[in-house]
């Protein structure tokens, strides 16, 4: 049910940014990093349930997935990281990299009904 509360958090964040009103919100755009640990399917499943509960079922959720990006501290090269425990594809070292991108869960923007 982790994703259920994430959905609530997303909707409440938009509500706060929109003076406490949800009636006029048509769409919420979020960005989810592939390394964030969020189950995207589950999030998409729960969103309408949460929207129903918070009386704003007109809101559509648009999700943009962000690739993981890491910088290897051994060979100093950047690479796409698909799983947290993958090795650097350049020098094969494990866990000696800095994650630059891919852990985020962000509300990017929301649209209002015209
Ligand atoms: Zn490396």
What domains sit in the chain, N to C, each tagged with a CATH number?
Answer: 2-112 (3.30.2320.80)
8 A C-beta contact, residue 106 and residue 28: no
Calculate how far, in angstroms, residue 64's C-alpha sits from the geometric centre of ligand 1. Answer: 28
Predicted local distance difference test score (pLDDT) of residue 96: 87
Contacts 24+ apart (CB under 8 A), 81-87: 81/35, 82/34, 83/35, 84/35
What are 85-113's pLDDT values in tens digits?
899 999 999 878 999 999 999 999 999 99
Instruction: Give residue 34 CA to ligand 1 midpoint distance, Å.
Output: 20
CA of 33 to the centre of ligand 1 (A): 21
**Cα 79 to averaged position of ligand 1 atoms, centre (Å):** 9
Report CA(93)–ligand 1 centroid distance (Å).
6
CA atoms in the 13 A half-sphere facing the CB of 47: 19
pLDDT attached to residue 84: 86
Question: Model confidence over 43-80: pLDDT tens digits?
Answer: 999 999 999 999 999 999 999 999 999 999 999 999 99
**pLDDT value of position 85:** 86
């Amino acid at each position: 049910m982790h994703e259920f509360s994430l959905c609530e958090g997303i909707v409440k964040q938009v509500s706060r940014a929109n003076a406490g009103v949800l009636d006029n919100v048509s769409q919420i755009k979020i960005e989810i990093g592939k390394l964030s640990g969020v189950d995207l399917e589950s999030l998409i499943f729960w969103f309408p349930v949460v929207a129903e509960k918070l009386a704003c079922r007109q809101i559509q959720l648009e999700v943009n997935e962000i690739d993981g990006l890491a910088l290897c501290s051994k060979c100093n090269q950047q690479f796409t990281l698909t799983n947290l425990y993958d090795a650097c594809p350049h020098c094969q070292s494990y866990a000696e990299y800095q994650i630059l991108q891919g852990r985020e869960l962000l509300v990017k923007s929301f649209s209002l009904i015209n």
